[in-house]
Amino acid sequence: MAKGFSKGPALGGQAGMLQQIQKLQKQMEEAQAKLAEETVTVTTGGGAIKVVMTGDQKCKSVEISPDFLKDVDAEMLQDMVLSAVNMALDQSRDLQQKLMGPLAGGLPF
C-alpha cells in the first residue's frame, strides 16, 4: 500500500454514519406511514361542521349537519368550512411535528 493511504478510522466512521442515516431513514418512513393513518377531527359552529384530516394533510371528510343548513346563508357556511379546514390543517401539522420533529434531531450533521 502506498505511503499515506491507509484504511484508518475515517472509513469506519463513514460506515457508522451510513448505518445511522439508514436507521433514521427507516424511522422516518415508519413515522410517515403512521401519519397517513392517524387523523385529527375539528368541529366548528357547535358541531355543525366536522372536518377529519390525516396526519399527512389529506382531507378525509367534511360533514355538515342538515339542521345547520336550514338556518345558514352560503357565505357563512363557506367561512365556517374554510375555518374548520384551516384548523384541521394546523392540527395535522402539529401532529406531524410531534412525530417527525424528534427524528430531525438524530441527523448526524
28: in domain: yes
CATH number at residue 64: 3.30.1310.10
Q: Could you report the per-residue pLDDT of 8-62, keeping only the tens digit for each?
A: 555 567 888 888 888 888 888 888 888 889 999 999 999 999 999 999 999 999 9
**Residue 90 placed within a domain:** yes
For residue 6, is it within any domain? no
Note down the domain range covering 99.
13-104
Residue 5 lies in a domain: no
Taking the C-alpha atoms of residue 23 and residue 88, their distance in angstroms, rounded to an integer, is 31
Model confidence pLDDT, tens digit, residues 61-87: 999 999 999 988 999 999 999 999 999
Residue 3 lies in a domain: no
32: in domain: yes
This prediction has a pTM of 0.72
> What count of residues does the chain have?
109
Q: Give domain status of residue 88, yes or no.
A: yes
